[in-house]
Amino acid sequence: MVAVDPPPREAAAAPPAMKRSASFDRVPEEARRILHRLAGELWGGDVDPAALAVSQLKGAMTNEVFRITWPGGGGGEGEGEGDHRKVLVRIYGQGVEVFFDRADEVRTFECMSRHGQGPRLLGRFPNGRIEEFINARTLSAADLRDAEISSLIAKKLREFHDLDMPGPKNVSLWQRLRRWLEEARGRCSPEEARQFSLEKLGDEIAMLDIALSGVDQRVGFCHNDLQYGNIMIYEETRQVTLIDYEYASFNPVAFDIANHFCEMSADYHSATPHVLDFTKYPGIDEQRRFVQTYLSSSGENPSDAEVEHLLGLIAKYSLASHIFWGLWGIISGHVNKNIDFEYQEYARQRFDQYWKTKDQTLGSKSN
């Protein structure tokens, strides 16, 4: 059952006194009330609801994410180190609603939970939510290059793309890019607009749309943000789960894979998390192994032609990925002030890579 605070009837009660920790003050009062109640609902008298500890998780670039832990207790699921006495608090980033509809994102989150994907929703408050804490390991940048883990991701991504999600199944990519471009133009100074060549991007988006929309390709429910921090692995079972569906929508599956390949250039837990190293973009043999695993995971036996066709599409959609996240970086630099991240410099690198690779990439064959 979802735990949601009821609307106050009269004056709101003061939040319960709770143990202070380094990140405690970042958790809103409404969230603290829900946490206090959840502790009792989930673990009963086994924990002291006020004895929570709050720690901020690094690597998030859209929201602030906190792990909430209750110590101590006896048997049951919380036995031992108390790994099950944890939940996640997600505080939405400032202004990020320009990127997606929050109500749609919450519906997606709940639907994914019903499909057995990702964490359960435990509670909501005005600027965030509380989620089940998944007792699995979040991947690192290096994990994406591990052959076994990469194979697991490919299989999971095919399963994700095959999900029967409600609502329209229209491709969202091109409309989203055009909307974000207008948003970026409205927020940038003339100097910023010149720096990022925003006056040219409308034509670039139209060109890619025309070049890619007329080819034979598969559309599925795409994650659209498959960086390593949104992938978790259960070490004992070697199962992979995908989390954080804020940008998820129906799109060409080649775009989702292209975006995942681009994310192999990033390390968001380094001393310079905004810096990308595009020499780490996977080579053609690594790409081919991923695509072959992806296509064959549903029991099919893909032909060489099918593999090469998808590889060609992925190469072209990498260009769309650069524009997508370049525009995201520009807008985020203007609206999201709570996250310590060099959004503008990140955007510059994505656009530089677009212009650097455009001519060679569009010369490749996808049919």
Q: Quick one: three-class SS letters along 73-103?
A: CCCHHHCCCCCCCEEEEEECCCCHHHCCCHH
What does the alpha-carbon distance between residue 357 and residue 367 come to, in Å, rounded to a whole number?
A: 20
- CA gap 29, 14 in Å, rounded: 8
Beta bridge partners of 137: 233
User: Could you give the CA distance from residue 19 to residue 47 in angstroms, rounded to a whole number?
Assistant: 13
Residue 42 CB neighbours (<10 A)? 18
- Each residue's pLDDT, cut to its tens digit, for the chain (367 residues) gives 333 333 343 444 444 444 555 467 788 899 999 998 998 888 877 777 778 889 888 767 778 899 999 886 443 333 344 456 899 999 987 777 888 887 888 888 888 888 778 888 899 998 899 999 988 999 999 999 999 999 999 999 999 999 988 878 999 999 999 999 999 999 999 999 999 999 999 999 999 999 999 899 999 999 999 999 999 999 999 999 999 898 999 999 999 999 999 999 999 999 999 999 999 999 999 999 999 999 999 888 999 999 999 999 999 999 999 999 999 999 999 998 878 899 999 999 999 999 999 999 998 544 4
Instruction: State the pLDDT at residue 336.
Output: 85
Q: CA 252, 257, 259 angle in degrees (round to 5)?
A: 100
Q: Are 31 and 4 in contact (CB under 8 A)?
A: no
Strand order in the sheet with 137-138: 137-138, 231-234, 239-242
Residue 125's SS3 state is strand
Question: What domains does the chain contain, in order, with CATH numbers?
Answer: 24-134 (3.30.200.20), 138-362 (3.90.1200.10)
Query: Which pTM does this prediction carry?
Result: 0.84
Residue 161 has a pLDDT of 97
Rounded to a whole number of angstroms, the distance between the first and last alpha carbons of the chain is: 49
For residue 84, the model assigns a pLDDT of 63
Rg (CA), the chain: 22
